[in-house]
Amino acid sequence: MSESTSVAELIEAGEITPFEAAQQLALVTAMMRRLKDSESALRGYLTDHLDPREHLTTALGVVSYKRGSESRWRVKDPIAFGQWLAMNGEESSVEEVLYPVEFITKPDAIEKLVHDHLGEQPDGVELSGGRADSVSTSKIRPWSEVMADLTAQRQA
């Protein structure tokens, strides 16, 4: 198999037996587990050691810092939220059809409501997950070029 021939092409051409495919799948799975562990450790390390908006250009690609975000409240069901507001002493925050007015659907306004109501989560509202800081990769060289480059192979 040359570096430019993909496994899919070999399968399509009938050049791989089920046993060979099973062997390769086992090998690839083991490699992926190892690579995922390495990727996780490297992402964590770089997230801790890069400044926001910083990027590093390497022979194989570019690694950039990505800023995460905090968890925040969002309205997922405005009607249920409006009904909850009306039943919990927040009538000034709803319109006649019990649809929440725009300002009360903002994350900070919902945070205040949750605080004012002793942590009760209003109906129709959920806390969306935040994102941790991370890094992204781009401009990755094709695998065939990596395999043809002895320096890149040693780095990998």
Mean pLDDT value of segment 49-68: 89
- The model's pTM is 0.49
pLDDT at residue 122 greater than cutoff 80: yes
pLDDT reported for residue 27:
80
Residue indicated by tokens 């007015």: 101
Distance of alpha carbon 85 from alpha carbon 108, whole angstroms: 15
